[in-house]
Structure 1
Amino acid sequence: MLTQTTTRVLEPSDLDAALAVLDREPVVNAFVTARVRVAGLDPWRLGGEMWGWYEDGMLRSLCYAGANLVPICATDRAVRGFADRARRAGRRCSSIVGPAEPTALLWRLLEPSWGPAREVRARQPLMVADRLSADVAPDPYVRRVRKDEMDTIMPACVAMFTEEVGVSPLAGDGGLLYQARVAELVGAGRSFARIDEHGQVVFKAEIGAATADACQIQGVWVAPEYRGRGLAAPGMSAVLRYALADVAPVASLYVNDFNLPARAAYRRVGFQEVGTFMSVLF
């Protein structure tokens, strides 16, 4: 039997069907699910299109096509359909990111027309925690960043982003979008830091994507002069405590496989590796 398949841009009326796909893997899909639950499927509000892959009239897989290209619950056939659409549209994203297997296939199909990438991070362990470890006490000095501390936290955020991604978030629009995102997280009470008596950020992290089922910790950073002093694990323990108490029953993050100190610190705090992400950076 031949299976009838098709891809198309989803419309606001497809919201329930899209959420049903996203909810199949609430931790893995937290980033996109959080956006969809706030913005729906209207491309202007969502910041991109949501592509759907249908088999015999049923929505099976998704692909978010915005600043990132993100395959969601994507089978090999769906990835090939998404790659065809992405190739025709041309590259508009700054990265491809998602579960390693479908992301790797998507990149293999797109690389001849989209390549070369600036960097490919093929293995980024996905880690989750649903409780605090008794082995690491939360840093009592890590707290929520106040709205009047934007000038204090912003340089640390820029330093973290530049170090992690390899380009400054201030490029292009002068950092307006990035500053707005930082301000959004501060305003929502999801930006955390340890700030010393001189007003310097020693440690920081944010709870980025958040749904009722899961949240994602991001932007973990220790000031270079404070590294090697054992601040990362207690700082992460403090952020995890806030996340589990105030945001969602499960917290996740993904980390570069070569960052062995970070992976060890996260494991000490209570995170376990449950999967692998992949990122292609342009």
Structure 2
Amino acid sequence: MLRTSPVRVLGERDRGQVQALLDRDPVGNVFVSSRLRAAGGLDPARLGAEMWGYVEHGTITALCYSGANLIPVNAGPEAIRYFANYARWQGRRCSSIVGPVPAVSELWSRLSPYWGPARAIRGHQPVMELATPPQVWPDPLVRRVRMDELGILVPACVAMFTEEVGVPPDTGDGGSLYRARVEELVRSGRAFARVDNGQIVFKAEVGAVTPHACQVQGVWVPPEMRGRRYSVHGMAAVAKASLASIAPRVTLYVNDYNTTARATYHRVGFREVGAVMSVLF
């Protein structure tokens, strides 16, 4: 069956078609597009993943990024059927499936008998976007994190990740890989925080970046500091800085049940432009 499948692993000769397909939805595809641009191409060793293409009449019409995340792009039911077959044949290599709700829902329905059960399923996570100045004043004390503040930023990132995902991100190798990722965000000027008396009271990072959009991640306020509007004005500061120096659109996605966070982002001026689904292993 796989020998006649319209799915194949893409290479450098396909880069133009892949980038054009990703650019059709610069907000929805910001993560995959940023990975492609950062790697400088589709070589799996540099990309840290394979890019699968669904080919119809010689044209790539859908993609699936297969790395730590499995992410379908522009994939309708027929493409999803073939991507699921290919993923099932390879075996699970990812820690999550993330993407548009219809595509991930269909993909998971086909893979769950073989890959299940999932540790958690987030069935509807609104995607939000801001392309205009924030509607509230930015916190003037939120700034880019300095390299000498890694010692307080990394524990805050670990706490946020663990609270959000349910498992710590720094197991297995003593946390060196995760620390390196956080350090790279600091070096690139994409980690923001408010630091009061040596304590982080608000933080957020800009993870994925393309010329068209950037994606905020890791928004966090320590539990004992919540309810003081640090996140509202902190997010306004991150959005303002990002629009000024990183990308013309700022995006993020949030759990639908996190009504506090959704209200915060709406207050800043973000609007909902779509939704994703996440299956976590």
Q: Normalized against structure 2, the TM-score is what? A: 0.97
Q: CA deviation at 1:132?
A: 2.2
**In the TM superposition, what are the counterparts of 1:41-190 in structure 2 within 5 Å?**
41-134=42-135, 136-190=136-190
2:257 is aligned to 258
Q: CA deviation at 1:140?
A: 0.7
Alpha-carbon distance in structure 2 between the residues aligned to 1:44 and 1:162:
28
Alpha-carbon distance in structure 2 between the residues aligned to 1:154 and 1:126:
26
Q: Which amino acid aligns with 1:78?
A: A
2:224 is aligned to 225
How many residues get paired?
277
Alpha-carbon distance in structure 2 between the residues aligned to 1:132 and 1:267:
13
Q: Is the 8 A contact 2:134 2:240 kept in 1?
A: no
SS of the residue 1:62 aligns to: strand
Q: Is the 8 A contact 1:5 1:55 kept in 2?
A: no
Q: CA deviation at 1:203?
A: 0.3
Q: Which amino acid aligns with 1:266?
A: Y
Q: Which amino acid aligns with 1:146?
A: R
Q: CA deviation at 1:133?
A: 3.2
Alpha-carbon distance in structure 2 between the residues aligned to 1:243 and 1:41:
27
SS of the residue 2:6 aligns to: strand
Q: Is the 8 A contact 2:210 2:247 kept in 1?
A: yes
Mean Cα deviation higher: 172-181 or 257-266? 172-181
Alpha-carbon distance in structure 1 between the residues aligned to 2:149 and 2:6:
49
Q: Is the 8 A contact 2:122 2:277 kept in 1?
A: yes
Kindly provide the CA deviation profile for residues 48-105 of structure 1, in whole angstroms up to 9, marking residues without a partner as x: 1000000111100000000000001111111111000000000010000011110111
SS of the residue 2:171 aligns to: coil
Q: CA deviation at 1:177?
A: 1.8
Q: Which amino acid aligns with 1:182?
A: V
Alpha-carbon distance in structure 2 between the residues aligned to 1:5 and 1:23:
26
Q: CA deviation at 1:5?
A: 6.6
Alpha-carbon distance in structure 2 between the residues aligned to 1:231 and 1:221:
9
Q: Which amino acid aligns with 1:218?
A: Q
Q: Which amino acid aligns with 1:24?
A: R
Q: Which 4+ stretches in 1 moved above 2 angstroms? A: none
Whether 1:207 aligns to 2:206 is yes
SS of the residue 2:75 aligns to: coil
SS of the residue 2:201 aligns to: strand
1:272 is aligned to 271
Q: CA deviation at 1:174?
A: 1.8
SS of the residue 2:31 aligns to: helix
Whether 1:236 aligns to 2:235 is yes
Tell me, which stretches of 5 or more residues in structure 1 are unaligned? none
2:17 is aligned to 17
Q: Which amino acid aligns with 2:101?
A: A
Q: Is the 8 A contact 2:134 2:239 kept in 1?
A: no
Kindly provide the CA deviation profile for residues 121-172 of structure 1, in whole angstroms up to 9, marking residues without a partner as x: 00000000001233x1100110000112111111100000000010001112
Tell me, which stretches of 5 or more residues in structure 2 are unaligned? none
Percent of paired sites with the same residue: 59
Q: CA deviation at 1:259?
A: 0.2
Q: Is the 8 A contact 1:5 1:56 kept in 2?
A: no
Q: CA deviation at 1:43?
A: 0.4
Q: Normalized against structure 1, the TM-score is what? A: 0.97
Q: Is the 8 A contact 2:215 2:250 kept in 1?
A: yes
